[in-house]
Each structure stands twice: as structure tokens, then as C-alpha cells.
Structure 1
Amino acid sequence: MRRNVKSYLIIDGYNIINAWDELKDIAQTSLESAREKLIDIIIEYAEFTGRKAIIVFDAYNVKHSRETVEDRKYITVVYTREHQTADSYIEKFISTLSRYDDIKVATNDYAEQQIILGKGATRISARELKLDLDKAKSNIREKNSSNQKKIQRNWLEERLDKETLSKLENIRRMH
């Protein structure tokens, strides 16, 4: 029996922000800006890798906060409810997934790492996540530069009529 295996990258948002110097610096002036920067980075990564990314920000000390889930392009951003840590949300979420799914959780929290491993997920540190992202970015640049070379040599739009071009554009947008 063939199973439909899904790939997930679940990120403890504040843990990663505090682990990466670039984001930590931004967070000192604006936590919102640091969150958005992390979200942008992960969107690009998820788009390129095809992994479903979930970034969890805890609202543990935020009075009267309710759980909020934002579906964005290629990722889901979760803000936990008051008194709920990102760790507890991640543990609960992992329990809802199939044991056949490929699940990576990015956190530097040692206790969380042990629980993640016990639930069958793979743990990656903030440093490993950064390396994965840098590698993906490098691959994106390579892919884009090779696409640029192709585009410079071969302008399809110069050889097709407007109606065909319009149909191709509509097909491209659907995917």
C-alpha cells in the first residue's frame, strides 16, 4: 500500500529569532519586523523545497490572546493562545500527523528536542536550519541564473501570437 507522505518543517519562531544574530538584532528594535523577516525567509524556502512550513510563535505571556492561524503562501503562521508555549503547540500538532510523514522541527530547546524525537520527528537546530536555508538560497540563485541564460538565448514570446501567450500565462498562474 502506497502512502501519501507529506514533508513538514515546523519552526519554533521566537527560538529561531533569538538564535540568529540577524533576526535578534532586528527584534531589538521591532519584534514584528523580526517575525516578518523570518516568515519571508521561510516562505522562500518552502516554495523552493516543497515542504509545508509551519512557524509557531507563542503568546504565552500575552493576556487574553487567542490562538490565531494565518495561512500564507506556502506556509502557516500560528500564534498560540495565552498560557500555551510554542513547544506544547508543536507537540500537539505533531501528534495529529501521520507517523509516515517526514517531519522536521527547528528549535534549540533541548527539552523540546527530546520530546520531538520521542514522537518520531527529526529535530534540527537553528544553526542547521540556517545552513539548509543558505543551501536552498544558493540553489535558487543557480536555478535563476541558468533560467536567465535560457531566457537570453530563446525568447518564446517573440515567436508566439498573443492568444497563445495569453493561454500559456493563464496555465502558469494556475500552478
Structure 2
Amino acid sequence: MKEFLVVDGYNIIHAWPEFEKLRDARLEHARSKLVSVLANYSPLSGQKIFVVFDAHQVKNYAEKTEIVDGIAVIYTRQGETADAFIERLVGDLLKEGPVYVATSDWAEQSVVFGRGAYRLTPEELRRQVNRTRIEHEKHCKQDTPADGYLENRLLDRVRSKFEKWRRGKK
């Protein structure tokens, strides 16, 4: 069964300390960084991720969806908040599988929770992303490139046998 993660983009950007300098300098960079972090997290978590950004105060802006590194990045249309879009999206996604919504907006958490989705605070999502990254690095860490070679993982007697065959000795 497919799992989905819906992220209130600006909400997370304003809640995570690692975005503080980026959001103060240029919000575009913070958006890009968040999408990058979630793109790395998505294949490890197995979740299909949607990041929703408000564009409701931008004049004459139509809703726009982009797929960036496997992440659906959605900008709401003029007059629609990220919260309203997320509520609608959760209703659609719940038909296909479990949905998690990451936001610090208490009212939004209550609404999506009431619809049957799971809620995550920004800090819970941050811990989950970091824990998954650390677990992956620990599991896949190699000290040297040669550690991944098959010959270095063989038993000594098997390696010795192959070496004899390679040299033409039986």
C-alpha cells in the first residue's frame, strides 16, 4: 500500500532552524533546499511526497505543479491557501493509502486528523528525516571504495580457490 506525505512548505521552512539564514536571505533558496532534503528522504521512506506552497497572495497566479527530483511541488492558485489545498489533497489521497501531513498549524492538524490522516509536527518530521538519513548512512557506509568489491567479501578459502583458477592452477 502506498503512503503519502503532504508537507506545508512555508510552515516547515519557518519552523526548522536549518532554514533560518536561507529564508532571511532569499525564500527561493529555502524552498529549493526543502525540496532537496525531502527528495533525499522520499526513496528511503517509501512515501510519495507533496510539498505545498502558498501563492494565494500573488496576483493572477494559477495553480502550478512541478515534479522536482520525484517530489510533487505545488503552488496554490491566487486566493487559495496551502491549508485549503492540503485539505482537498488529503481527501483525494486517503482513497489510495495512508496520508501524513506535516504542519505546525494546529487548526490544520485538527482538520486532517479528523479526515483520517496522520499529523506530524515540523519537529517530528525533522527528527524522522534526520533519523532516516543517519540510519541509511550507517547501513551503507563504506570505509574505502574497495570494501564494496565482491572479492573482499568472500571467505578466504573461496577467494584462494578463485585465485588458483585465475592463475591457471587447479
Give the alignment's TM-score, normalised by structure 1: 0.81
Task: Give, in angstroms, the shift of residue 22 of structure 1.
Answer: 1.6
Task: State the alpha-carbon separation in 2 of the partners of residues 33 and 69 from structure 1.
Answer: 18
Q: 1:152 is matched by which residue type in structure 2? A: A
Task: State the alpha-carbon separation in 2 of the partners of residues 10 and 95 from structure 1.
Answer: 12
141, 146, 157: which one aligns with 1:152: 146
Contact 1:99–1:120, Cα closer than 8 Å, also in 2: no
14, 19, 23: which one aligns with 1:18: 14
Contact 1:20–1:126, Cα closer than 8 Å, also in 2: yes
Contact 2:4–2:47, Cα closer than 8 Å, also in 1: yes
Contact 1:59–1:84, Cα closer than 8 Å, also in 2: yes
Q: Percent of counterpart pairs with the same letter? A: 36
Instruction: From the superposition, tell whether residues 138 and 61 of structure 1 become closer, same or farther in structure 2 (CA, over 3 Å).
Output: same
Task: Give, in angstroms, the shift of residue 100 of structure 1.
Answer: 6.0
2:41 is matched with which residue?
Answer: 45
1:118 is matched with which residue?
Answer: 114
What is the CA deviation profile of residues 70-95 of structure 1, one whole-angstrom value per residue up to 9, with x for unaligned ones? 01223100001111100000100111
1:101 is matched with which residue?
Answer: 97
> How many residue pairs get matched?
151
Task: Give, in angstroms, the shift of residue 154 of structure 1.
Answer: 5.0
The runs of 4+ residues in structure 1 deviating greater than 3 Å are none
What RMSD, in angstroms, separates the aligned Cα atoms of the two structures? 1.8
Task: Give, in angstroms, the shift of residue 98 of structure 1.
Answer: 3.5
Contact 2:35–2:68, Cα closer than 8 Å, also in 1: no
Task: State the alpha-carbon separation in 2 of the partners of residues 12 and 141 from structure 1.
Answer: 27
Task: State the alpha-carbon separation in 2 of the partners of residues 78 and 55 from structure 1.
Answer: 6
Instruction: From the superposition, tell whether residues 141 and 65 of structure 1 become closer, same or farther in structure 2 (CA, over 3 Å).
Output: same
Task: State the alpha-carbon separation in 1 of the partners of residues 55 and 20 from structure 2.
Answer: 18
Task: State the alpha-carbon separation in 1 of the partners of residues 72 and 106 from structure 2.
Answer: 24
> Are residues 1:62 and 2:41 paired?
no
Secondary structure of 1:41 counterpart: helix
Task: Give, in angstroms, the shift of residue 137 of structure 1.
Answer: 1.0
2, 5, 11: which one aligns with 1:9: 5
Question: Structure 1: 5+ residue runs without aligned partners?
Answer: 158-175
Structure showing greater Rg? 2
Contact 2:7–2:52, Cα closer than 8 Å, also in 1: yes
1:165 is matched with which residue?
Answer: none
Task: State the alpha-carbon separation in 2 of the partners of residues 125 and 154 from structure 1.
Answer: 38
Secondary structure of 1:136 counterpart: helix
1:138 is matched with which residue?
Answer: 134
Task: Give, in angstroms, the shift of residue 153 of structure 1.
Answer: 3.6
Give the alignment's TM-score, normalised by structure 2: 0.83
Instruction: From the superposition, tell whether residues 92 and 154 of structure 1 become closer, same or farther in structure 2 (CA, over 3 Å).
Output: closer
2:84 is matched with which residue?
Answer: 88
Secondary structure of 2:104 counterpart: coil
